[in-house]
Structures are given as structure tokens and as C-alpha cells.
Amino acid sequence: MSTHAATHDESQYYVPHSSRWPIIGSMSLFLLVGGAVVTLNGWGSGWSFLPGILGILTLFFGWFHDVIGENQKGMFNLAVDRSFRMGMMWFIVSEIFFFAAFFGALFYARQLSVPWLGGEGVKPFNKLLLWQEYSPTWPTNGPGAVGGHADGSFETIPAFGLPAINTALLLASGVTITIAHHALRAGHRGILKIFLAATFVLGFIFVYFQGTEYHHAYTELGLKLSTGIYGSTFFMLTGFHGLHVTIGAIMLTVVWLRVMKGHFTPERHFAFEATAWYWHFVDVVWLILFVFVYWI
């Protein structure tokens, strides 16, 4: 017969007694989207985001602080560890499908709607009656030549410039994190620290390059979020990806700080692995993006 005081007992699945973080989280989320509503409706300035952002930061800091503390006290048995792993895996799956919506939009535009606008396939009347002048070639900002330079033109970013360098950076970061993982499992903490640091540094360099690329696109190429369907898909896909790289690099930094504090053992290091999975996911999304957005 088990007793319930023994939460440290390996056979007991740890069920926290009560927690303030969920309610703080949902209120912060409400404040955050409330800030978005206030700003978008013109009811107030962008400062209305501030309470929500502070709340969300408090949430992440506080919640993870609690969980890491419990973990360090050894309150999580292997079953809890497995729950965390599965939870992270399925979270990443949901992220994949979020990106799928935008890739779906890209493929739909390139394969179906843009050719149709040019009168191809089952839609000859688009050409005959609506847009005689329009030739449906990718990249395009549509028959209305929306956005771009004053004359409606725009240029794209060639794949084998900065994007190729960024690809190399992310692939290299995939290698460094794998080396760091092997080092962690072999107990080589020195190598772990160096290669983990290298990983997030590569990530932040990627984000910096992405920023310069955006600046170039906006100021010189006439390529903006509003530059028709090309600009829409380009910036939404690379933008959400860049956001995920930023989040991933912050996660790596936090894991690195924990490594510096002596957390993780060769056997038990869920946070490290979860971050590594996330990083590989971000990597793979970039490869698909590089091929279909920049290259072909």
C-alpha cells in the first residue's frame, strides 16, 4: 500500500498540488491579445502590449522556475519525464501543421491560383475578360501589381547569396548541437558548454542576417509584406520561421545557462533534448523554405 507523502518515491507520479501559473498564464494571454485588439482598433498606442508581454515573460520565468526546481529536487520519476517528452513531441507536431497552412498557401498560389489568374486550365475567361495583360509567372504580385516599387515592380532575393549562407549556418548549428548532445551523454561538460554556446551563437547570427536581408528587401528591392502574394508568402514564411529561430536560440541560451549551473546528467536531460528537437524542427522548416521560397 502506498503512502502519498512520498512524492520522491520513484513509483509515484508527481501531481502538483495547486499552481498559480495557469491562471497567470491565461490572464497574461488575455492581456496580450487585448493589447493587440486595442492597438489594431486604434483605441490606444502600441504600449498597450506592455502588460501582456510582461505577464507572459513572468509566466515563462515563473512556471519554468518552479518546474526546474521540482526537477532538481528529484520529484519527477521516469514516467513524468516521458510525459514531458511526449508533450514536447506533439507540440512540435502542432507547430509543423501551423507552418503547413502557410506552405499550403504558397503551393496553392504557385500551382493553382496564379496560373488561373492568367487564364490557364479551367479558367480561360480570367484572361479573356479580366486581365488580358497579365502573364502568370512566379514570382508575382498579381494582376494588380500590388505593392513593390512605385511602378509595381519588385525584385527577389537570390537563393545563392545570403540565404545559402544562412542555410550553412543552420546546418552547422544542427551539427554542433548533436556534438553537444553526445558530449552531455559522455559526461564531457567542457565540450558540451562550447558546442552548445556555438549553437545558439549560430542561431543569433542567422537571425541577424535575416534582419539585414529584410532591410535590403524593404529599402532597395521593393519586396515588402504587401508586395502581392509573393511578398505575403515570403515574409509570413520566413518571418514565422525567424521568430521560431529566435525562440529556439533563447531556449538554447537558457539550457546553456542551466548547463553552466551544473544541471543535467548524462541520463536525465529532458530540457536539453526538447530544445534540440525544436532546433532540428526549425532547421528542417528552413530547408523546405530555402528550396521552395528562395530557390525554385
Which residues in the 146-185 window bind other proteins by CB under 8 A? 146-147
Ramachandran region, residue 222 (left: φ > 0; alpha: ψ -120 to 50; beta: rest): left
Handedness of CA 12, 17, 18, 19 (dihedral sign): negative
Copy the grid coordinates of residue 30. 488575455
Q: Is residue 261 within 8 Å of 185, Cβ to Cβ?
A: no
In this complex, which beta carbon is closest to other proteins, that of residue 40 or of residue 150? 40
Among 180, 192, 229, 252, binds other proteins (CB under 8 A): 229
Instruction: Please list, in sequence order, all residues whose beta carbon lies within 8 angstroms of the beta carbon of residue 127, skipping any fewer than 6 positions away.
Output: 118, 119, 134
Quote the CA–CA distance of 226 and 246 in Å, as a whole number: 23
270 lines the binding site for other proteins (CB under 8 A): no
Which range of residues in 142-150, 190-198, 206-214, 245-253 is near other proteins by CB under 8 A? 142-150
- Residue 39 C-beta: closest distance to other proteins, Å: 9
Measured CA to CA in angstroms, residue 206 lies from 171, 173, 200 at distances of 11, 10, 10
Q: 147: how many CB neighbours lie within 10 A of its CB? A: 19
Which range of residues in 103-111, 155-163, 186-194, 247-255 is near other proteins by CB under 8 A? 103-111
Among 55, 71, 114, 241, binds other proteins (CB under 8 A): 114
122 lines the binding site for other proteins (CB under 8 A): yes
Among 19, 45, 111, 212, binds other proteins (CB under 8 A): 19
Number of residues that bind other proteins (CB under 8 A): 74
- Residue 140 C-beta: closest distance to other proteins, Å: 5
Which residues in the 78-97 window bind other proteins by CB under 8 A? 79, 82-84, 86-87, 90-91, 93-97
Longest CA pairwise span in the chain (Å): 82
In this complex, which beta carbon is closest to other proteins, that of residue 138 or of residue 204? 138
Quote the CA–CA distance of 161 and 89 in Å, as a whole number: 34
47 lines the binding site for other proteins (CB under 8 A): no
- Residue 141 C-beta: closest distance to other proteins, Å: 6
Quote the CA–CA distance of 269 and 100 in Å, as a whole number: 30
